[in-house]
Chain A
Amino acid sequence: MSEYRYILVDDLEYAASGEMQKAQFIDMQAPNAKFLEHLSPIRQEVMKALNWSTQRDEFKKTSNAETDEKVDTNSVDVDEVDAKVMMTTLDLAEGVDVFKVLLGVSTIVTSKKMAKVDGETNFTKPLYDNMSIKDIYGLTGTFLVNFILPSL
């Protein structure tokens, strides 16, 4: 997918056509090789999180098999991951540097022509800095699910 839209949850004001307006959505472009420096660490952290989730599920299966209990699998199925599940997995996984992922994604989406607010205005670092925590995590999760996971 070459472009994906994130619908904002909380208010974000931005300047357009000489006035301040409330942003509705952010259109993100798929990153290319120009961003390898930021993409590689992001992929690594995502892989660590998915691996942790799988191992945790295997451990549960093994330990519960010994006690003959039914197991609820909580491991992440890559095909069914949404943004919230992705970020929750990253937050919970041991050894994952979530800040590295947030920083890497923010650098990519605020680069020139990589994202537009309401389809028209460049998404810049000051706008990213004004987003709510909910939207920062939502945007990051959406980026990971639509651009990083399909590349694994």
Chain B
Amino acid sequence: MATQLADATVLINNQPFAIVPNTLVFTEGQGEQTIKAASIGGGQVEQIFANDIETNFSMVKFELYATHDSIEDTKSIKSNQNNNVVQILGNTPEGTITRTFTQAALLNDPEKALGTDTTIPVEFKSNPAI
């Protein structure tokens, strides 16, 4: 029986952040690839595989509740430009998943809605996950 990982710890610059459950998403930073066909005649094709290294960045996004700390901390993280480190740590009975995202930058300008059911969505781009 396998257990879904739905309860990961998020650290930004060594500090744990309490995030809105079920909002954490990340990519490994392995980028996008294309396959093109090159004709070698006679109806035959050869595969041309290309790695678009422009897309070799990881993405991490999640949502935070609008508390005093999350409002102030996201402002400070944004000012840090690409000098942040985001870490994800998730435990399941089958094993542990850890990912570290170095030189992470908060690219969006987070919308900080102040209300009872509102959240602050944050999205980082970083070096490929380690």
- Using a CB–CB cutoff of 8 Å, the interface residues on chain A facing chain B are 14-20, 121-122, 124-127
Contacts and interface: CB of A to CB of B under 8 A. Distances in A.
A17 B84 CA distance: 6
Given A18-B102, A19-B102, A19-B103, A124 B84 contact: no
Given A18-B103, A18-B104, A20-B100, A125 B16 contact: yes
B90 to A, nearest CB: 14
Contacts of A127: 14
A126 B87 CA distance: 11
Interface residues of B, number: 17
A20 B102 contact: yes
A152 B87 CA distance: 41
Interface of B: 9, 11, 13-16, 80, 82-85, 87, 100, 102-104, 130
A89 to B, nearest CB: 32
Contacts of B80: 18
Contacts of B130: 20
A123 B102 CA distance: 19
Contacts of A122: 14-15
Contacts of A124: 14-16
A119 to B, nearest CB: 15
Nearest to B89: A126
A25 to B, nearest CB: 16
Contacts of B84: 15, 18
Contacts of A121: 13-14
A127 B104 CA distance: 19
A14 B82 CA distance: 16
Contacts of B104: 18
19 contacts: A14-B14, A15-B11, A15-B14, A15-B84, A15-B87, A15-B102, A16-B85, A18-B80, A18-B84, A18-B103, A19-B85, A19-B102, A20-B85, A124-B15, A124-B16, A125-B16, A126-B9, A126-B11, A126-B15
